């Protein structure tokens, strides 16, 4: 690879050899240094373009939403939009709470106690997106199909969720997601 | 199989025997014999290619955020500048990229003019280059309309109204271009579509330009063809490295503008949202179109043609004349190195182009240096006259009357001197 120019005259043979070897190491170092520098530069130039496709400032600014829950009666549910997705807010009946709390963890596909999924047992707040392939399950209205466990039923591929939003039957792998939320007071909920 | 002839082996060889991309790249960008005596003016073709790539990449990412609707366009630009991650950077890269693309291409063209790169057998190569220049002008014009500021709107109004000077069919053509009776949403939509389309047309023509180049081979500072392998070096690593160095310098200057003076080449007026009821006090195109704008405004009534139509004809001819330049120039010698008289006029022409640019940026009736007897339009008329004189009179006559200097026998001789050639 190294084709160093032939030295003539005063240099001894071994000295010339040494010089060539030295030259080869230096060349390899230069290749690596130049290549590495170019790669870092290319990456640095590319990153802003990739990052530009991430949520922008105005999108992130809409990351939380406040909901007035004073008008929701026992057994009713409403759907609100948060980050472009539906969020289910359900005011559970004592029967529904009992069913959710009494379910054995051994029967669950994604075991999680009801107490870990709610802050106040009466209020169940879920991201209404099926964990299978992203459809919105039905069951918000009492007249809709609520599946075998009285929660929600996903019409796309038949996943059944219980009154805690946990997956009980069907292809979905995980429970419905619980978003970060806080009760500002008894009638106002902030999601996000 | 008889076609298993690739010099590559393994997977690369398998692909190469079926689709010779690797052989092609090796032949055209590896061993491609290139004159050994390129100077740095030969960097600008590659630099222009770099600019085109940057414009397309940054443009595609901007298009993901831009809204081509008169109600939203201006706001969406502000959103890009404020909210989109690195939106400001992408937009400044794109905005100033247009300027640097034109800088690279103009230097590339002047290099061709100086060294006679348009002459036989490179006429078609040159003409394809002129097509690229025209496409670039159209693309930059459409792009400038998209932010929907005052300059966008009124620039678009003025340029599209040029077509109204065409006798009889002028007005229907303008209405057709607008898709209405003024510049409005339909116009913005179609300009956006075309602004996205034309760069890819440019890529296609650049492809033809490069194919034509690789048929005739590159010109060089002596203007004489390589005669033996001594006169050439392989493109890689000699010119890949020389281009890389030139590119580094070019990108440093580009980055300085993008990061430290991103608005220096633009018009502040374009940050005022488009208002179809009020024209700004002064309409100025982007710097790279100023000389043509100066020619447009400088031409007076000519015989039976009124000034409006005459100006437009002159403006188009000022570019279209480049198509016939290979036949206007009658000199047998290519490079200005051996054409002492042409060399002087070449520099006069360069100065005239800059002066035309200056004229285009100033109101026609402004006094030059405060002189009572000299207005900008007078300077415009003199320089416009010279522009056409240079092409239509000087080029044909110089070839006949110029005393050229002796041309060296070979590129090697010009590089190393006659004695060195004998020794080799």
Per-residue pLDDT averaged across A34-50, rounded? 93
Per-residue pLDDT averaged across B57-82, rounded? 97
Of A49, A58, A59, the CB nearest to B61: A49
Q: What is the tens place of the pLDDT at every residue in B134-160?
A: 999 999 999 999 999 999 999 999 999
CATH at B357: 1.10.287.980
Clarify whether B231 is annotated catalytic: no
Q: Report the chain A residue with the minimal C-alpha distance to residue B76.
A: A58
Is B3 within a domain? no
Q: Is the pLDDT of residue B303 over 90?
A: no
Q: What is the tens place of the pLDDT at every residue in B354-370?
A: 999 999 999 988 999 88
**Residue where a domain terminates, one of B279, B300, B335:** B279
Of B82, B83, B90, the CB nearest to A48: B90
Is B15 within a domain? no
Strands B232-234 and B33-35: antiparallel
Query: Phi/psi of residue B152, each to 5°?
Result: -55, -55
Task: For residue B149, give its domain range.
Answer: 28-279
Higher pLDDT, B325 or A1: B325
User: Which chain B residues are closer than 8 Å to A48 by Cβ?
Assistant: 85-86, 89-90
Residue A142's pLDDT is 83
Whether A52 has its CB under 8 Å from any CB of chain B: the answer is yes
Quick one: tokens of B260? 């430290």
Per-residue pLDDT averaged across B287-315, rounded? 90
Q: Would you call A51 and B85 a contact, using CB atoms and an 8 Å cutoff?
A: yes
Model confidence at A64, pLDDT cuts 50, 70, 90, reads confident
Residue A117's pLDDT is 94
pTM for the structure as a whole: 0.86
- Verify that B256 and B305 share a domain, yes or no: no
Per-residue pLDDT averaged across B381-398, rounded? 97
Is B233 within a domain? yes
- Verify that B228 and B125 share a domain, yes or no: yes
- Verify that B230 and B370 share a domain, yes or no: no
Q: Quote the mean pLDDT of chain B.
A: 94
Query: Could you give the maximum distance between any two Cα atoms of chain B, in Å?
Result: 83
Of B57, B79, B82, the CB nearest to A49: B57
Q: Is the pLDDT of residue B2 over 90?
A: no
User: Which chain B residues are closer than 8 Å to A52 by Cβ?
Assistant: 61, 64-65, 84-87, 90
Residue B213's pLDDT is 96
Higher pLDDT, A127 or B301: A127
**Residue where a domain terminates, one of B213, B245, B279:** B279
| CB within 8 Å of A32: residues ≥ 6 apart | none
Q: Is the pLDDT of residue B421 over 60?
A: no
User: Which chain A residues are closer than 8 Å to B87 by Cβ?
Assistant: 52, 56
Q: Is the pLDDT of residue B96 over 50?
A: yes
Model confidence at B275, pLDDT cuts 50, 70, 90, reads very high
Looking at the structure of chain B, the number of domains it has is 2
User: Which chain B residues are closer than 8 Å to A56 by Cβ?
Assistant: 65, 79, 83-85, 87
> Three-class SS of residue B375?
strand
Clarify whether A132 is annotated catalytic: no
Residue A6's pLDDT is 47
Is B422 within a domain? no
Q: Is the pLDDT of residue A13 over 60?
A: no
Say how many Å lie between the first and final Cα of chain B, rounded. 44
**Residue where a domain terminates, one of B244, B262, B279:** B279
Residue B419's pLDDT is 66
- Tell me how long chain B is: 424
- Verify that B73 and B126 share a domain, yes or no: yes
- Verify that B185 and B298 share a domain, yes or no: no
- Verify that B273 and B297 share a domain, yes or no: no
- Verify that B98 and B232 share a domain, yes or no: yes
| Separation CA A186–CA A123 (nearest Å) | 11
Is B13 within a domain? no
Instruction: State the residue for tokens 């004189």.
Output: B389
- How far does CA A151 lie from the centroid of its chain? 23
Nearest CA of chain B to the CA of A158: how many Å?
Answer: 36
Nearest CA of chain A to the CA of B145: how many Å?
Answer: 23
Q: Is the pLDDT of residue A15 over 90?
A: no
Convert chain A into a string of H (helix), E (strand) and C (coil).
CCCCCCCCCCCCHHHHHHHHHHHHHHHHHHHHHHHHHHHHHHHHHHHHHHHCCCCCHHHHCCCCEEEECCCCCCCCEEEEEECCEEEEEEECCHHHHHHHHHCCHHHCCCCCCHHHCCCCCCEEEEECCCCCCCCCCECCCCCCCCCCCEEEEECCCCEEEECCCCEEECCCCCCCCCCCEEECCCCEEEEC
- Verify that B268 and B289 share a domain, yes or no: no
Q: Is the pLDDT of residue A66 over 50?
A: yes
Regarding an ipTM greater than 0.90, the answer is: no
- HSE-up (13 A, CA, CB side) for residue B306: 5
- Verify that B88 and B145 share a domain, yes or no: yes
Clarify whether B218 is annotated catalytic: yes
For an interface test with A, give the residue of B85, B91, B247 to mutate (most A CBs within 10 A). Answer: B85
Residue A25's pLDDT is 85
- Verify that B149 and B267 share a domain, yes or no: yes
Catalytic residue among B214, B236, B308, B343: B214
Clarify whether B242 is annotated catalytic: yes
User: Which chain A residues are closer than 8 Å to B82 by Cβ?
Assistant: 57
Is B242 within a domain? yes
- Verify that B189 and B336 share a domain, yes or no: no
Q: Is the pLDDT of residue B183 over 70?
A: yes
Is B232 within a domain? yes
Chain A and chain B share a number of CB contacts under 8 A equal to 35
Query: Could you give the maximum distance between any two Cα atoms of chain A, in Å?
Result: 102
Residue B304's pLDDT is 82
Residue A93's pLDDT is 93
| Separation CA B232–CA B215 (nearest Å) | 15
- Verify that B344 and B225 share a domain, yes or no: no
**CA-angle at A189, arms to A187 and A190, nearest 5°:** 155
Residue A10's pLDDT is 46
Is B5 within a domain? no
Q: Report the chain A residue with the minimal C-alpha distance to residue B87.
A: A52
């Amino acid at each position: 690879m190294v084709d160093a120019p032939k030295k003539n005259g005063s240099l001894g043979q071994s000295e010339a050899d040494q010089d060539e070897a030295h030259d080869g190491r230096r060349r390899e170092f230069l290749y690596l240094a130049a290549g590495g520098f170019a790669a870092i530069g290319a990456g640095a130039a590319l990153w802003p373009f990739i990052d530009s496709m991430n949520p922008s400032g105005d999108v992130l600014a809409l990351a939380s939403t406040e909901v007035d829950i004073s008008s929701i009666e026992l057994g009713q549910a409403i759907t609100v939009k948060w980050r472009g997705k539906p969020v289910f807010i359900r005011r559970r009946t004592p029967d529904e709470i009992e069913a959710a709390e009494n379910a054995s963890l051994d029967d669950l596909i994604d075991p999680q106690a009801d107490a870990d999924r709610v802050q106040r047992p009466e209020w169940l707040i879920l991201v209404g997106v099926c964990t299978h392939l992203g459809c919105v399950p039905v069951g918000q209205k009492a007249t809709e199909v609520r599946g075998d466990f009285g929660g929600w039923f996903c019409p796309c591929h038949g996943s059944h969720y219980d009154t805690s939003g946990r997956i009980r039957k069907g292809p979905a792998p995980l429970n419905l997601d619980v978003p970060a939320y806080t009760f500002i007071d008894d009638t106002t909920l902030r999601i996000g | 199989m008889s076609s298993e002839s690739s010099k590559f082996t393994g997977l690369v060889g398998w692909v190469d025997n079926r689709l010779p991309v690797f052989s092609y790249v090796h032949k055209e960008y590896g061993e491609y014999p290139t004159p050994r005596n390129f100077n740095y003016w030969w960097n600008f073709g590659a630099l222009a290619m770099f600019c085109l790539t940057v414009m397309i990449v940054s443009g595609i990412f901007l298009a993901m955020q831009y809204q081509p609707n008169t109600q939203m366009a201006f706001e969406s630009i502000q959103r890009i500048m404020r909210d989109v991650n690195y939106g400001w950077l992408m937009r400044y890269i794109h905005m100033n990229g247009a300027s640097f693309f034109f800088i690279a291409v103009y230097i590339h063209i002047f290099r061709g003019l100086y060294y006679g790169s348009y002459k036989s057998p490179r006429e078609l190569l040159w003409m394809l280059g002129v097509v690229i220049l025209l496409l670039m002008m159209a693309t930059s014009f459409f792009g400038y309309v998209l932010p929907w500021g005052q300059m966008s709107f009124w620039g678009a109004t003025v340029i599209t109204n040029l077509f109204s000077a065409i006798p009889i069919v002028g007005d229907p053509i303008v209405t057709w271009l607008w898709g209405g009776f003024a510049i409005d949403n339909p116009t913005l939509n179609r300009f956006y579509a075309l602004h996205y389309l034309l760069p890819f047309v440019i890529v296609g023509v650049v492809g033809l330009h490069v194919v034509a180049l690789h048929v005739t081979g590159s010109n060089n500072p002596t203007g004489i063809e390589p005669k033996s392998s001594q006169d050439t070096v392989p493109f890689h690593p000699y010119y890949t490295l020389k281009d890389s160095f030139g590119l580094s310098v070019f990108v440093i200057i580009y980055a300085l503008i993008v990061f430290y003076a991103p608005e220096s080449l633009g018009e502040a007026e374009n940050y005022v949202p488009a208002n179809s009821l009020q024209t700004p006090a002064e309409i100025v195109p982007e710097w790279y179109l100023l000389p043509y704008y100066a020619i447009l405004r400088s031409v007076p009534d000519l015989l039976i043609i009124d000034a409006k139509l005459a100006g437009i004809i002159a403006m188009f001819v000022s570019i279209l004349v480049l198509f016939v330049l290979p036949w206007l120039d009658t000199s047998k010698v290519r490079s200005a190195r051996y054409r002492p008289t042409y060399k002087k006029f070449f520099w006069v022409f360069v100065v005239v182009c800059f002066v035309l640019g200056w004229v285009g940026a100033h109101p026609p009736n402004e006094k030059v240096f405060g002189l009572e007897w000299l207005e900008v339009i007078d300077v415009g008329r003199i320089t416009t006259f010279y522009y056409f004189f240079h092409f239509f009179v000087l080029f044909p006559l110089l070839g006949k009357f110029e005393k050229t200097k002796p041309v060296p026998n070979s590129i090697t001789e010009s590089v190393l001197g006659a004695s060195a050639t004998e020794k080799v």
